[in-house]
Structure 1
Amino acid sequence: MKRQHSSHGGAHNSAESCIALIDARFLAWLQGQTEAAQDNTRQHLLTLLGHALVNNGLDLNLRRIYWYSDSAEDQVVDAQISRAVLPHSQDGGVSILRALGADLKRLAERQACEHILVGSDDERLLSLIDEAQLHGVAVHLLADEASRNMNQLQRDDPGWARLLSQADHRVVLGAQNLRDGAQPRHGNAAVHAAPAMDPEQLREQLNTVIQAWWADEPEDLREELREELHNTRGIPQEVDRQLLLGVRRVLERALSFQEKKLLREMVRDLVLGPQTPAANAAPQDDHMD
């Protein structure tokens, strides 16, 4: 029986097929959702992603979703296959990289579909995506609104920009997709404009999230991070994603561009300690981008 998708207005007799590989943790960051809200997302995920594809110019038959999560899955959702992975804090994302990467490789080698939609920001997928494309499969990546300005993104988050640049299409999961799709916890969660907030109150909220993250970091990872920050003006992609998600949960909104800058500066100050004027030059230059 041919699958129909109401958002496309009828049967997909001629539409090319697509299979989605979605990291639950990444999707939560993308939508600014709590873990509890993910239950609602899964029930509407096929519709949400279908709308996102159409709104980004891709009229495809989304046949199936593979869902990678470290949470116990007690839901059975049509056209979704759950893959259990270890928490990122335990293995740095290795288990999900292997699971999602293996599925991506098999789907491409077996030519199981013409298109694959990947929901992940792990730059280690770059070579696997390239290999799938060499097998003739179009690989698209879920992204946020920041991906609409790739020049700026390359300066702010070069790792994420490199991964997105490999995609055949960047599928932006913006506010319109959320309204049409999964009825998220916050109706305009993906909108990046933020309401005004007292600067001191904001700094206090950011500091709470940063301190909680730092307290959970083992000493060996702290040392690795210190070494890395001495050699770069940014902060590692995964740390950035983790903190942005934590702040979203506290503030119940996304951060503005300048607020993200402040967050990253506060992280550097905490990890590296008081900086000399020369050491602070790189973050100051970053404001000029």
Structure 2
Amino acid sequence: MDRCIVLVDAGYLLGAAASLLAGEPSRSRITVDHTALIQGLRERAESDTQQPLLRIYWFDGAPDRVPQPEHRRLRVMPRVTVRLGALTRSDGRWAQKGVDAAMHAELTELARNRACSDVVLVTGDGDLLPGMMAAKEHGVAVHLWAVQAADGDYNQSEDLVAEADERRVLDRTWITKAVRAKEHTGVCAPPARAPARDRRDPLRPAARVRARRRDRAPRPAAAAPRGRRRAERRGGTGTRPQRRPHTQRPGRPARPRPPVRPAARRHPPLVLRQGLGRPAHGRAPRGRLDADARPADHGRAAVGRPRGGHHHRRR
């Protein structure tokens, strides 16, 4: 079939354009006119391959494969198909997952079905080398496009460059027709801290309050408390009435409280008799009563009872 197809790795195209124009491969440093970019790719592909364009495949990554606003704008354009892979964050950087595999599968399928005679690849990843070789075996001419590198060197895999049938470089003039670097007035410096205010600074709120207190007339030493002054203005004496106890009712004398009973006396400590206490070391000898034994244990049963509390008769 005499027509051409363009496969675009958006991560490579926009990242290399950001490095060329803004000095960093971050896509947030550039603004993209997607309508002008798609039109430029179509005209350049038809001019290089001398074949009409069948379709442009736009491969990009998105968080959870959810289309972003730019993807929604692209997929409604004529002759544009958007394929999304996963976008994950590792080591502080965003990385695409599944984009190369999707490009490889699409390239192989198009070449096997002979859907086109020429394929334009805008990528720099060497993982597409097997797909490029398979397309060439099916009789498809492979054109490899590169974005001009910021340092003048190659920004593509050397194996891809060696295996491609044709190679073109999209220079700065062509890139700036659809991609512009965001203007920055200067390096964003952290805001300077405000100088520490002096405690005697008259602009401080606390200093103004203290100044107003100093300017007020001094309070007379014999002035009465505030509560007493209020009571005097109301016509009272200013003294607070005594509060009645909760047990006393108006017109009745207060009930006398019952006397406090003395606490119950405890039993006196047990006095050990001489010779009946527990020895300092070891167990008490069998047959001798302990000093802490109960009175009920004194007797014939307590003397011959074995240790452990069990009574065994001898047969």
The structure in which a higher percent of residues are helix is 1
With structure 1 as the length reference, what TM-score do the two structures score? Answer: 0.49
Give the greater-gyration-radius structure (CA). 2
Structure with the greater relative contact order (CA < 8 A, sep ≥ 6): 1 or 2?
A: 1
With structure 2 as the length reference, what TM-score do the two structures score? Answer: 0.45
